[in-house]
Amino acid sequence: MTRFLNKKLFRYLYLFLFINSSILPIKSSSDLAAWALKTNGVLELRTKSNTNLKAYFQKANQIYGDRFWVDFPGELKNPRIIKGNGPIKEIRLGKPNQGKTRLVIEFNKETYLAPLTWRMVGLDQNRWRIKLFKPKYSFNKISEGQIEKKRRINIKANENSGFIKKRNNEFLQLPNVKQNKFLVIIDPGHGGPDPGAIGIGGIRETDVVLQVSKIVEKLLLEKGVKVKLTRSNEVDLDLPPRVSFANNTDANIFVSIHANASRGKRRDINGLETFYFRGWRGRLLAKRIQKQILRVSPGSPDRGVKQGRFYVIKNTKMPAALVEIGFLTGRLDARRLEKTSHRKRIAYAIAKGILEYLSKVG
Ligand SMILES: [Zn+2]
């Protein structure tokens, strides 16, 4: 997503203004999630989705050098000053007034900037980029937080396909388990202002995993398994409440459902993987789910069952797995995950893996 902005010259050079249709109330926490000023002169920002950014430039005077700043909705908890290097004097994160966060980049006087050429580019709903200067200055990157969520990439992923031969028959056969004996927590990843991965054609992880989770819920309920979802709509839900929600029940298992994105949005990276954190039960649960999702995703690489230190599977007290149902940035996976028919197949596979686990381990 790219947006252009009109420019006006006042006392300040008022650079650009992003307008979102919704009026945002004063927020308690800042919309600025992470930022990085990179050695090529590019400032990258990660924000909450669909935020209102305002960026400004002020020319140097006798006291100060050039100054660039961006205002975000939401208040910063801890204003701070970060010492610069090279062309950057310092970077300040402040609270200019109630309900606002301001990121100021203060340049040294000898830094040459060409603000009329500046353009803020939206990379997706929550990432932004602006080139502030040419990479002729040598300096060290200054950043806070992670601009892109870390994704696990395994280039050696093999080409295991696993074709579905009896797909239609299989759909009618989910293992039976004892009625009303089990409780399963399903955790659809992300939600609300956090869309998770954004893939080809703008497909969003939050939408995909919520639909899949609801179908898993329905299938398990039909089998007499009690189910609780950590979220059932687009709400902002942090990781700790998901865990405490689960830990306050006596659920048998916890399954978090996610979809992947590769760094650089490589279309040739596709595949499925399932994580567990501890215990043979967690591992068995992950294995059963992984095996089933592979069967409904022919040609998509098996990235395996792995141990992963993800918060929700690390901190839940019951056996837990986190499944990545494909790469929204991958050509093969995205084309499938776009369709409700495939989401149903994936949901069926996850439900089957869960039921197999429950019937075996209980
Ligand atoms: Zn995710």
Cα of 225 vs centre of ligand 1, distance in Å, is: 25
Q: Looking at residue 294, what is its pLDDT?
A: 95
Which tens digits make up the pLDDT trace of 257-281? 999 999 999 999 999 999 999 999 9
Cα of 130 vs centre of ligand 1, distance in Å, is: 26
Residue 184 has pLDDT above 80, yes or no: yes
**Domain assignment present for 155:** no
E strand map for the chain: 8-9, 13-17, 32-37, 42-47, 54-58, 67-73, 80-83, 88-94, 100-107, 121-124, 127-131, 142-144, 183-188, 226-229, 253-260, 272-276, 302-307, 320-327
Cα of 207 vs centre of ligand 1, distance in Å, is: 11
Cα of 11 vs centre of ligand 1, distance in Å, is: 44
Cα of 131 vs centre of ligand 1, distance in Å, is: 29
E strand map for 277-349: 302-307, 320-327
State which of 112, 144, 176 marks the end of a domain: 144
**Domain assignment present for 159:** no
Q: Looking at residue 167, what is its pLDDT?
A: 40
Cα of 137 vs centre of ligand 1, distance in Å, is: 37
| Average pLDDT, integer, range 196-204 | 94
> In which residue are the tokens 């039960």 written?
281
Q: Are residues 104 and 194 in the same domain?
A: no
Return the half-sphere exposure (C-beta side, CA atoms, 13 A cut-off) of residue 140.
5
State which of 144, 176, 201 marks the end of a domain: 144
Q: Are residues 64 and 178 in the same domain?
A: no
pLDDT-wise least confident of 133-142, 224-233, 268-277: 133-142
Cα of 257 vs centre of ligand 1, distance in Å, is: 7
Q: What are phi and psi of 13, to 5 degrees?
A: -85, 110
| Average pLDDT, integer, range 61-75 | 88
Q: Looking at residue 146, what is its pLDDT?
A: 83
Q: Are residues 192 and 319 in the same domain?
A: yes
Q: Are residues 104 and 206 in the same domain?
A: no
> Residues 6 or more apart from 213 whose CB is under 8 A from it?
186, 187, 188, 229, 257, 347
Which tens digits make up the pLDDT trace of 162-171? 333 334 444 4
**Domain assignment present for 296:** yes
Please report which residue ranges of 133-204 form alpha helices under DSSP H. 167-171
Cα of 10 vs centre of ligand 1, distance in Å, is: 43
Total count of domains within the chain: 2
Question: CATH no. for residue 329?
Answer: 3.40.630.40
Q: Are residues 140 and 245 in the same domain?
A: no
Cα of 259 vs centre of ligand 1, distance in Å, is: 5
**Domain assignment present for 152:** no
d(CA 69, CA 90): 12
Q: Which domain holds residue 193?
A: 167-361
**Domain assignment present for 54:** yes
Cα of 332 vs centre of ligand 1, distance in Å, is: 18
Q: Are residues 185 and 132 in the same domain?
A: no
Largest CA distance in the chain: 79
| Average pLDDT, integer, range 25-43 | 81
Which tens digits make up the pLDDT trace of 299-320? 999 999 999 999 999 999 999 9
Residue 254 has pLDDT above 60, yes or no: yes
pLDDT-wise least confident of 41-50, 96-105, 116-125, 244-253: 116-125
Question: CATH no. for residue 127?
Answer: 2.60.40.3500
138 vs 253 pLDDT, higher one: 253
184 vs 73 pLDDT, higher one: 184
Pairing between β-strand 32-37 and β-strand 13-17 as defined by DSSP bridges: unpaired
**CA geometry: angle 291, 248, 284, nearest 5 deg:** 20
116 vs 233 pLDDT, higher one: 233
Q: Are residues 337 and 209 in the same domain?
A: yes
Q: Looking at residue 58, what is its pLDDT?
A: 86
Residue 57 has pLDDT above 50, yes or no: yes
Residue 32 has pLDDT above 60, yes or no: yes
Q: Looking at residue 148, what is its pLDDT?
A: 75
Cα of 198 vs centre of ligand 1, distance in Å, is: 10
Tell me how far CA of residue 99 lies from CA of 82, 84, 163, in angstroms: 22, 26, 54
| Average pLDDT, integer, range 54-62 | 84
- In whole numbers, what is the pLDDT of the chain averaged over residues? 84
pTM for the predicted model, two decimal places: 0.56
Cα of 150 vs centre of ligand 1, distance in Å, is: 10
| Average pLDDT, integer, range 60-75 | 88
